[in-house]
Amino acid sequence: MSKAFLLNTHDLPRRAGEMKEYQLAIEFDKPIGIDVIAVPAGTLNLDLRLESVAEGILATGEFEAVAEGECIRCLDPIALTLNRNFQELYAYEPNRDDPDELEEDQLLMDGEVMNLEAPIRDAIVLALPINPVCDEDCEGLCPECGQKWAELPAGHAHEQVDSRWSALKGLLQEEN
């Protein structure tokens, strides 16, 4: 677990209704995302509002990040700007009244410290396309020569030419 996402909430009074705003620059050292597209390691600027409520601290965050990857069709680099927000309750204590909430996704305070990694990671991952493309209309690459269809002349082909050649070669061989 990266310590970069830990926030000490010491400044926030524990009385319900108290509120505090933060501007955090989170330095993280591993990309956040999926195999084909991810936000590279770097700095994430997070606007965060914390509110004391009876059961814990309500965290409302907003950030912008740029995910980088490759078009799955033409392999061109892609940069995708994500504007994301989240709102999560960090409970002081696990909610034992409701066994369903004892799942691992329940966020808990660790003393005065909250770990912002899960909501940030979820906000990024949920916004990423599983099959990123540079453009919905991207035609990709010719499987034979690997060139972009968009840059090849109309009617570009290999197999048809090849099969015509072999047919012609066959004819020539028969004649000899």
- What's the CA gap between 21 and 12, in Å, rounded? 9
Any contact of residue 138 with Zn ion (CB under 5 A)? yes
Comparing C-alpha atoms, which of 58, 28, 57 is closest to residue 124? 28
Half-sphere exposure of 151 (CA within 13 A, CB side): 8
Comparing C-alpha atoms, which of 83, 80, 88 is closest to residue 45? 83
Measured from the CB of residue 145, what is the shortest distance to Zn ion in angstroms?
3
When binding is defined by CB under 5 A, the residue of 25, 145, 154, 171 that contacts Zn ion is: 145
How many CB atoms are located within 10 Å of the residue 22 CB? Answer: 15
- With CB under 5 A as the contact rule, which of the stretches 14-22, 23-31, 39-47, 132-140 interacts with Zn ion? 132-140
Any contact of residue 154 with Zn ion (CB under 5 A)? no
When binding is defined by CB under 5 A, the residue of 34, 36, 142, 149 that contacts Zn ion is: 142
Question: Whose Cβ is closer to Zn ion: residue 55's or residue 162's?
Answer: 162
Any contact of residue 78 with Zn ion (CB under 5 A)? no
- What's the CA gap between 132 and 99, in Å, rounded? 38
When binding is defined by CB under 5 A, the residue of 11, 55, 64, 144 that contacts Zn ion is: 144
Q: Which two tokens stand for residue 123?
A: 């906000």
Question: Whose Cβ is closer to Zn ion: residue 24's or residue 72's?
Answer: 72
Question: Whose Cβ is closer to Zn ion: residue 12's or residue 74's?
Answer: 74
Any contact of residue 57 with Zn ion (CB under 5 A)? no
31 close to 42: Cβ distance less than 8 angstroms: no
Any contact of residue 71 with Zn ion (CB under 5 A)? yes
**Token match 């968009």: residue?**
150
- Interface residue list for Zn ion (CB under 5 A): 71, 73-74, 134, 138, 142, 144-145
